[in-house]
Amino acid sequence: MNKSREHARLLMEKAAEDLYVLRQLIGDADAPDAVIGFHAQQAVEKLLKAVLTSRTVAFSRTHDIAALLDLLEQNTVAMPPDADRLPSLTPYAAEFRYGRLPPEGDEKDSFDRAWIVDGVTHTKAWAESVLGEI
């Protein structure tokens, strides 16, 4: 197995770990949104990086999901489902992890637990599909 493929596989495994934690916490009303958002963001970031890595696309050290999606587009890689919503997870990488979440009721930044698991799950299925192509 080549080095890029091996690194992509490792990123997929690490994303699966974040998805596992996310699934464990999502139904717990006491689990903080910031923690759930963090694991969702981390899973999506790793999935996007796995696909980029498998295509030998260089990327900077970033948590910015929009920037990673831009790289996919620039390199003519099919976009994941929910690509328009995935960047909303970026602030959970650091900003909300070490700071405060927006006030409840702020529609622009509302936290949709129902979508979170679906969004990550769809992104994982997309990444597996793309990685299966090469």
Q: For residue 85, what are the domain limits?
A: 3-100+108-132
- Show the tokens assigned to 81: 């489902």
Please report the pLDDT score of residue 46 as a whole number.
97
8 Å CB contact between 11 and 50: yes
Tokens standing for residue 132? 């299966």
pTM over 0.85: yes
pLDDT along the chain (134 residues), means of 10: 87 97 95 93 97 92 94 95 94 73 55 93 97 75
Number of domains the chain is built from: 1
- At residue 104, the pLDDT reads 56
pLDDT at 97: 61
The whole-angstrom separation of Cα 77 and Cα 15 is 19
pLDDT in tens, 102-122: 655 554 457 899 899 999 999
> Following DSSP, what letter does each residue of 95-109 receive, concatenated?
HHHHS-PPPTT-GGG
Specify the CATH number for the domain of residue 52.
1.20.120.330
The reported pLDDT for the residue numbered 96 is 64
The pair of structure tokens assigned to 101 is 């979440």
What's the pLDDT score for residue 108?
Answer: 44
pLDDT at position 2 is: 84
